[in-house]
Amino acid sequence: MPTFCRHNRLIQNCPICSREQAIELRPIVTSSAPRTGQPRPSPAGPRRARPAAAQRAGAGGGVTVRRVARGSEDGYRNSLVIGLKSSADARRLAEEIAFAEHRLRVLEHAPPGLYAEVADAGANLEERTWLAFLIAYLGPLEGEHPFAEITRSRTSWASGQSPSLEGIGTGPRTAHDPARGPRTLDAYRMWAGRAGSQAVAFTGEAAWTPERRFARAFERLALPGLHRDARFELLVSLGRLGVYDVRAASLALGGVNDVTVGAKRAFGIGDPLLLERRASDLAGACGIPLETLDLGLHNWQRGERDTVGLGVDSAPEPEAVAGVQAALGL
């Protein structure tokens, strides 16, 4: 009886599964039928090369293609990250996951810079929420003064005014598009206004679980110009800083972003449901909250560490790195 693999192919026809299970591939059979046509001649005149910018952007425009550094295959295999064939890639993933978990603990216990204002329980709730939104939307810079640009341009919620965004510096995960101007900020104010306040918009119903509150707010925050990363980061920071009782039960994977692309690479599959299941399995094996994988996969896929406000000198404890490495069989 024919056997099908996880890629929905006959196992002897699948170049991935046949290699994993040491099954000889069936030879590729070409048709013996005579060709019925000749190749079409090239058009007269020299062929014009497509501009490099157009090759990068494609038909949609605005797309940046980044070449991802991959480790060489060395026989590494682990069922938690079935897509990885290199221990170097797995080791780097462990380091980024450990750093992301370290950042969550810092936000909870010793928030730096403007995060400390967001965490101040004695301050006005609407102002704390608005500041958290500005941080997630603009993104802390990488360097000695990660919050300098946000501090310089910020406005209060009570003023009803949006920050001056002309020439503003933004962080690696920013959602701000200079061409859009303040329209995303205006859309956010309108979103909160329809609910009556930011607090009502984020809290929802009192009977909701933290996981449901996170999911509903993430869905409702799908505003023009506010991409997946900014929404997820906003809700994670609001939860970790004690502003609202929200907690992620999924990574909300999908679309074109480094977290989703990194998850597909690491877990060796593209189906969203299976990606979420494998992400949950990895988080459980590492003993970390699921939301840790958001920043961990983002930084791993980029090949550069975004500290998101912690500063370039911040690093996870060696014991935390070793714990994740052990879960990955390193």
Give the range with max mean pLDDT: 39-48, 57-66, 202-211. 202-211
Task: Report, as an integer, the average pLDDT of 272-301.
Answer: 97
Contact residues for 69 (Cβ-Cβ < 8 A; gap 6+): 303
Task: Report, as an integer, the average pLDDT of 119-146.
Answer: 96
Q: Given CA atoms 313, 318, 320, 323 in this order, what sign does their dihedral have?
A: positive
Task: Report, as an integer, the average pLDDT of 265-278.
Answer: 96
What's the confidence (pLDDT) of residue 4?
A: 65
What's the confidence (pLDDT) of residue 60?
A: 38
Query: Are 172 and 142 contacting, i.e. CB atoms less than 8 angstroms apart?
Result: yes
What's the confidence (pLDDT) of residue 71?
A: 75
What's the confidence (pLDDT) of residue 73?
A: 85
Task: Report, as an integer, the average pLDDT of 226-236.
Answer: 98
What's the confidence (pLDDT) of residue 214?
A: 98
Which uninterrupted H or E stretch holds 149?
Answer: helix 148-153
Contact residues for 66 (Cβ-Cβ < 8 A; gap 6+): 302, 303
Structure tokens belonging to residue 49:
């090369």
pLDDT band at 14, cuts 50/70/90? confident
Q: Which CB contacts under 8 angstroms, 24+ apart, belong to 288-291?
A: 288/97, 288/101, 288/324, 289/101, 289/104, 289/247, 289/248, 290/248, 290/249, 290/250, 290/251, 291/104, 291/232, 291/236, 291/247, 291/248, 291/251
For the chain, give the longest Cα–Cα distance: 82
Contact residues for 290 (Cβ-Cβ < 8 A; gap 6+): 248, 249, 250, 251, 279, 280, 283
Task: Report, as an integer, the average pLDDT of 237-245.
Answer: 98
User: Helix or strand or coil: residue 61?
Assistant: coil
What's the confidence (pLDDT) of residue 169?
A: 94
Give the model confidence (pLDDT) of 46-84 as tens digits: 444 434 333 333 333 344 555 566 778 889 999 999 999
